[in-house]
Amino acid sequence: MIVIDGDDCLNAWKKGCGAILENNGDLYNLFTTIENPNYLEDSWIFEYDPRRMYKNSASLSDVINTIFPYKMDISQGREDFYNNYLKLHRSKKRIGAKKKKRWGTYFERMICFGSKEINQIEEIISVLLNDKRHLKALNPIHITSCEYDSLKKRLGNPCLQYIQFTFADKDTINATVVYRNHDFLKKALGNFIGLGMLLKFIAHHTNKKVGSLSCLSTHAFTDHKRNLIKLADI
């Protein structure tokens, strides 16, 4: 296992890119910890946008939105936020883009999971608001499901598997996530930023502090080493 520690999402991503490049673009069990996953500079959205390399790629902003739809108004209350997201997503409109195209199902699965359409984020928030025992770990937010996904399919199934929340102390919430395949050129930086935003959302609504974000990438890779060097400015 290769272990990476970064101060913020960009720093951690660049270190991970370096490790992948040192292993000829293909690395197994890369474990990344980001100490401050909420730090974000506006310039990153353009400067490290994978569409600079590939016009047909999802933008960095779109990748973030698959995890947490940060362009939506989240001040309106959680229920309206969830409902408005589902309305937009299911009408196949793409937030912040011109094309009408589905742009990922991660957040949908977080708030409307399985045949019972469970809002897993709201369950996490509810448990934390009513916790009298100082839980050390909560049940994870599941992304994959045998209802949706096939074990036989090599492509198309979600790369993000689940999100586990833990507590170093009763006031700080940390997150650990597992990715099956993790494309560090097109996806990983946006994934890290979006997960940090999700962690901040849950912490804000449960009166917690944002802790660290850790990510196990069981297969971290790039198919285009030269472009990764250029995009990550390595």
Encode pLDDT of 139-190 as tens digits: 899 998 766 666 555 545 789 999 999 988 889 999 999 999 999 999 999 9
Q: C-alpha distances in angstroms, 36 versus 71, 131, 149, 171, 204?
A: 21, 25, 33, 16, 15
Which CATH number is 2-159+177-231 given? Answer: 3.30.572
Of these ranges, 68-77, 97-106, 152-161, the one predicted with the greatest mean pLDDT is 68-77
Q: How far apart are CA 125 and CA 98, in angstroms?
A: 34
For the chain, what are the domain ranges?
2-159+177-231
Asked whether the beta carbons of 29 and 2 are under 8 A apart, the reply is yes
Q: What pTM was computed for the model?
A: 0.91
Of 186, 198, 193, 199, give the one whose Cα is nearest residue 17.
Answer: 186
With 70 as the cut, is the pLDDT of residue 100 above it? Answer: no
Q: What is the pLDDT of residue 101?
A: 43
